[in-house]
Structure formats: structure tokens, C-alpha cells
Amino acid sequence: MSGNAKDQILDFVRARYPQAEIDETQDIFALGFVNSLFAMELVMFIEKTFEVTIPNDELKIDNFRSATSMAELVDRLSPARV
Amino acid sequence: MTTLAETAPDVLRVTDRKSARAFVDTHIVPYADAYDRRGRVPEELLERMTAAGLWAPFLPRDTGGGGMDLVTLGEVHEEVGRGCSSVRSLLTVHTMVSWAVQRWGSPAQREQWVPALGRGDVLAAFCLSEPGAGSDASGIASNVVEKNGGWVLNGVKKWITNGQRADLFLVFARTATSIGAFLVPRDSPGVEVTPIEDMLGTRASMIAEISFRDVALGPDALLGPSGFTAGMVLTGTLDLGRYSVATGSVGIVQAALEACAAYASRRTVGGSLLKDLPLIQAKLSDMVTDARAARLLVAEAGRLKDAGEASTIMATWVAKYFASTAAARHASEAVQIHGANGCGHDYPVARLYRDAKVMEIIEGSNEIQRITIASQAEREII
């Protein structure tokens, strides 16, 4: 899994909620941060930053619960690196 | 059926602001007040818009679209809004649905609908508001239940722009777990369209109430993901609608400015032309300034959309809030400048005044926008 991707995602979430203390494994849904607006921003951020397209069947809540799970999603969607 | 595009291939194609302005000045501006009085946009103009490629020029070229960037699309919608807010409203809802199908549709859904939406062979309407729920989407009561591998839809949608004419409805309804978006052809059994007449503004946008009674839909009617991400279909689609309304609001300010500049250059009072009176000059200078400022905010939101930046959503809220309030303020001043003439049918400013008020309400009322903008500011600054 890309640690860089995880850090970038974490930076994005923290920038949106600077008053909160969030680590890479915390469930941001459980923390009550996610509404449909932020979910849309998250998807746009991931697609833009990592140059991937998230298909409908990957738009599941578990893929967006934490920076770790989002980084795993990015890894799955990114072209294989040699 | 022979189309206008076939019989009159020389009809202007709209590809940018300049060609949009020419189209609007030729085919819309001279007739906008008549559309307003009759309460509908004639089929002839809808056909001309099809021939001009106006309906969804942003769709990708490989789907038959024009691949237009969203900054340019905003400029085109501004020009149409300058000519007639009702016509721009038809474009707005068609744009929203076309984008949603292209963005969230399955390959089969895209193949079925996108080329036809792009050409304008199928016109679309966006069905969210209900008698008891407007800006508060969480309050919608329309519902779907899964049955026989498909869905059954029940509910009533109200204030549906182009509901009288559209061929395809994108309907938001409650599922067992969340809110989903469903593609519903107009000719589905159980769909009933009731025109809503005599609206305050955008009177020609063919608004309707639409009832869905036990409408049976196939499994492919659901657009996009289900579950928590279903809300993104709504968020993303409303964002584009809000962008179009913002551009249309800039168009209203520009139309007010042009009408007032023309009137103030001819009308005299006490031996002076209106344009030479300081109080009138103040009103005109505010119109010029706000038109430019709103246009820049809209362009920035469009640039962020083209770049795929998440910050476009808030930029669009800000642009729509600023542009719509400016439109309402300046359309009111435009009537004031015209005096009694502004209250009649001989000048367009009464229509602009009524249309501008609607801009402060649709695609999220300005009160909702201010709450959202303040919330964002709190997150970023405080």
C-alpha cells in the first residue's frame, strides 16, 4: 500500500477538519464528519490526486472509512507499477 | 420525422460565448417576453436548440457530444440566461440529468441515454422537490421498493422544470436504506404530469407536478451507487445545476445592465438624459461591477470543475449566492430606472425582476447557501 497516498488523504481530511485529531485508521464516519458534500469532495480529491476513476461498485462505505482503506482503494485502482 | 438540423443545416452551431450570443440575439431575445406571457417555450425554439447543439455540448466526443469544457459551458448558459431565464432553466435541468447519466450511469445506461440526451432527441427533467420538501432533500417522501428484481416507485414531485415537456425524469426517492436516483421514462404507466401555471418567474419553463403511482421500473432504473454514496449523485448533480443557475444569474444582471443603458441613453427627465444623472450612474456602475465580479466567481468555479478540484463545490455555492443576490438586486433597480415603463410589457425588466427572484430560491435557497458557506468558513478559517 502506498504510504504516500495515505498521507495525502490524511492531509486532505485534516485540512477540512483542522479542529479534529484524526489518524490513519480512525473511522471518519464514526466521528460524524462525513455528509454527502464531503463524500463528493473525497471522491473528487482521490480521482484528481491519484488519477483514477472510482467505479460505482467501489463506492462502498467501507472503502472510505479511513485514510488506510482509501489508500487501499487507490492501490487497487492504480495501474500496476513495474 | 425531418428535423430542423436536416432542413436548415446552416442554422448557427453554438460552440462558445460568441456564437451563443449570436444565437440568443437572433432566436431568443426578440421572443422572450412572448414566451413569458404564453407560459411556454415553443417547439420551434427547442428544435433550433437541437440544431445548434445546445442541449449538452459538454458530453464527451466519443458519445457524440462536443467535449465542451465547463468554463465555456458556463459562458453559453450565461448568454442564454441573458436572453431568457426560462430557456436557460430548460438547459439547466437537461444538463444536470445528462451529466448524471454520463458520470454515474452503467455502460448500458450510458449507451441507452447519453447520445440521445446529447443530441436533444430526449429532453430530461430533474425531480427532487416535493410538496413537503424543497431544499431539504432529506425530507422527501417518494419511495421505491424492490419487487420482482426491479423497483416500484410511488410519490409526488413538484415544481419540476420542463416537467410538461421532458421525455425522461431523474427521480430521487427513498430506498430501504438511503435515497436513490432513478431514471423514469415519461411514458411509463403510472406517470401523470400536471402543468403548474402562472408562476411568479421563469414562467415559460413548463413547470409541472408529477405523480408516480405504482410505477414499475426495471433493475437498470437505479442510477449510480446505492447506500451512502447514493447521496453523491444528488450532490454532484445539484452542484452542476447550481453552476448553471449562477451563470444564468450573471446573464440577468447583464440583461438588466443592457436594458438600463439603452433606456437611460434615450429617456430624459428635467431636460437631462437619465444616464447623466448621478443616482442613475451609481446604479449602472454597480451593475457593471457586480456583473464582472459574478462572472469571475462563476469562471473560477468552472475552472475548478474542469480541473477536477474538490473545491469547486464550495466555489459554486459562493458564485451562485453572489450572482443570484446580485441579479435580484439589479433587476429591482432596473425596474426602478424604467419607472412605470418598467412595470409593463414594453420593456423586459419586469420579466427580469420576476425571474431573478426565482434564482434566489432554486438549487438550494440562499439561506441554505449561507449556512453552507459559513460552515465551510468555520472549518477553514476559524
**Domain limits of chain A?**
3-77
Closest residue in A to B224 (Cα) is A56
CB B179 within 8 A of CB B109: no
User: CB-based burial of residue B368 (10 Å sphere; 0-12 exposed, 13-18 middle, 19+ buried)?
Assistant: middle
Examine the pLDDT at A10 and tell me if it is beyond 50.
yes
Task: Name which of B332, B337, B353 is nearest B266 in CA terms.
Answer: B337
* AA identity, residue B123: L
Using CB atoms and an 8 Å cut-off, which of residues 186-205 of chain B contact chain A?
none
Q: Cβ–Cβ of A59/B232 closer than 8 Å?
A: yes
Quickly count helices (H) and strands (E) in chain B: 12, 10
Is B84 an interface residue toward A (CB < 8 Å)? no
| C-alpha distances in Å from residue A25, one per residue of A32, A68, B37, B191 | 15, 6, 60, 47
The distance of B355 to chain A (nearest Cα, Å) reads: 28
Q: Cβ–Cβ of A48/B106 closer than 8 Å?
A: no
pLDDT in tens, chain B (382 residues): 555 555 554 568 999 999 999 999 999 999 999 999 999 999 999 999 999 999 999 999 998 889 999 999 999 999 999 999 999 999 999 999 999 999 999 999 999 999 999 999 999 999 999 999 887 777 899 999 999 899 999 999 999 999 999 999 999 999 988 889 999 999 999 999 999 999 999 999 999 999 999 999 999 999 987 666 677 888 889 999 999 999 999 999 999 999 999 999 999 999 999 999 999 999 999 999 999 999 999 999 999 999 999 999 999 999 999 999 999 999 999 999 999 999 999 999 999 999 999 999 998 899 999 998 998 787 766 5
Residue B268's DSSP bridge partners are B273
User: Could you tell me what percentage of chain B is helix, strand and coil, using 3-state DSSP and rounding each to the nearest 5?
Assistant: 55, 15, 30
d(CA B246, CA B360): 10
Is A30 an interface residue toward B (CB < 8 Å)? no
Q: Taking CB atoms and an 8 Å cutoff, what residues of chain A touch B224?
A: 56, 59
Give pLDDT, residue B308: 92
Q: Please compute, for residue B380, the number of CA atoms within 13 A of its CA located in the half-sphere on the CB side.
A: 9
Q: Label the pairing between strands B168-174 and B124-127.
A: parallel
**Other beta carbons within 10 Å of B121:** 12
The distance of B375 to chain A (nearest Cα, Å) reads: 11
Give pLDDT, residue B245: 98
Residue B75 annotated as catalytic: no
- How does pLDDT run across A27-51, given as a tens digit for each residue? 888 877 777 778 888 899 999 999 9
Give pLDDT, residue B11: 61
Q: Cβ–Cβ of A56/B106 closer than 8 Å?
A: yes
Give pLDDT, residue A82: 45
d(CA B354, CA B351): 5
Q: Taking CB atoms and an 8 Å cutoff, what residues of chain B touch A35?
A: 231
> DSSP label at B227?
G
CB B58 within 8 A of CB B95: yes
User: CB-based burial of residue B61 (10 Å sphere; 0-12 exposed, 13-18 middle, 19+ buried)?
Assistant: exposed
Give the nearest partner residue to B379 out of A16, A57, A60, using CB atoms.
A16
Q: What is the DSSP string of A16-82?
A: H-TTS---TTS-TTTTT---HHHHHHHHHHHHHHHT----GGG--GGGGSSHHHHHHHHHHHSPPP-
Q: Cβ–Cβ of B310/A59 closer than 8 Å?
A: no
Q: Cβ–Cβ of B227/A61 closer than 8 Å?
A: yes
Domains of chain B plus CATH, in order, are: 11-123 (1.10.540.10), 126-225 (2.40.110.10), 230-380 (1.20.140.10)
The CATH class of A3-77 is mainly alpha
* First vs last C-alpha separation in chain B: 61
